[in-house]
Structure 1
């Protein structure tokens, strides 16, 4: 019986050696692929398990690194010191995303014309910046990443965008929902926004390894619902029945 396989991949980005987690579905044919971006804390077993779950469904999946060496920043101050300048610099975000996307696109199991970007927090913001940079993506999905870009650049997004946010998230407030929605609408993007009632920031992230930060909390039901919504986005925009070799 053939099974999924995983391996770590090293690649340069942002002046660092990044260490991502690549998950491959069973078989030897080319498959559609998903670039998976982590929260600002960095790559953890949560994202690795999600990449593995995507491979079990039949996708090639790469959970990419944010901080070099596959580091997970459990200290909130260290995480903010790393992420706030990054989030303020679209070109740096695009560089990190492009480097990971290149790794995924050149993987022999990947159908390079059928890739989606899914991300959480900072990883989701990077996915959006890839879209604003005109990357060839079939879908972009983000949770807790209602970031807006430089004026006019959202018009470069060439795929549907789905975004999810908790209604009680103090970090992604309704002001940001409205700005994000206006940016997407003005650019003519095919977009959707799901608001999960009663959920805080990072509601999707199980409490394992999670820093105790005000306004951050896990919501088991909505975490499951958001994952189902992400899988629904992929089923719509990146259906496995159309993969090369099917």
Structure 2
């Protein structure tokens, strides 16, 4: 893998300081860029490892900090209020998501015309909500998104974007009814979408720490589904970037 460079980037929204992280191939200039949104545990080592893995594919990645001040909660009791606070104040939530995209687009390593949103769990919900409400991105990759956090109405969605959703058939936060509503919304917005549905798989299935979940009927690690989601992501991004590349002269 080519050497990577990393850089902390501070940005703000409505008076809140957020500390994102740029991860890119060494010497990268105006590469296709991913805005990566963390799960409920914040911009942790796990999310940074995902950013490095994506950068290893030749992409420039901006890992966003939605909680602010690089907060990385460790207790379940901290997580509910954080997610509930964002879901209850969607202007603040989506303002922070938009600020991350604006900050990413300003970095010299990133080609602002090729921005892609990606996330896991709460981060995947953030990426989908940004698209639903008019976020100008080329694509969204949503891994075990909490579809229960999505609001209805896709009229403002950015036409022409593509979406990959990887989810578990037994995820209580992405039930069959929620998946159907998402598909209907994407269809109504004219968005090209793909849904990869994994049997016997619950929420947060890509995170090895979920193997020790106190609620295995809700959250559980599934290594085979995790591997399949990464293969699907790598293929989806490869196809997208190939289509975005300028035609030879």
- RMSD of Structure 2 on Structure 1 (CA): 2.4
- Length, aligned pairs only: 243
Please give the residue correspondences for 1:1-246 in structure 2 after superposition, counting only pairs within 5 Å: 3-13=3-13, 15-145=15-145, 146=147, 147-153=149-155, 155-207=157-209, 212-214=214-216, 215-239=218-242, 242=245
> What is the distance in 2 between the residues matched to 1:230 and 1:172?
19
Moved more, 177-186 or 141-150: 141-150
Q: Which runs of 5+ in 1 are unaligned?
A: none
The answer as to whether partners of 2:55 and 2:61 remain within 8 angstroms in 1 is yes
For structure 2, the residue ranges without an aligned partner over 5 or more in a row are none
Q: Distance in 2 between matches of 1:2 and 1:205?
A: 25
Change (3 A) 1:211 1:79: farther
How far the C-alpha of 1:176 sits from its partner, in A, is 1.1
Task: Point out which structure has higher relative CO (alpha carbons under 8 A, 6+ apart).
Answer: 1
Provide the rounded CA distance (Å) in 2 between the counterparts of 1:162 and 1:67: 25
Which secondary structure does the structure 2 equivalent of 1:239 belong to? helix
Change (3 A) 1:14 1:42: farther
How far is 1:134 from its partner? Answer: 2.3
Structure 1 runs (4+) greater than 4 angstroms displaced: 208-211
CA deviation after TM superposition for structure 1 residue 106, in Å: 0.4
Q: 1:150 to 1:91 in 2, by over 3 A?
A: farther
Contact 2:117 2:140 in 1 (8 A): yes
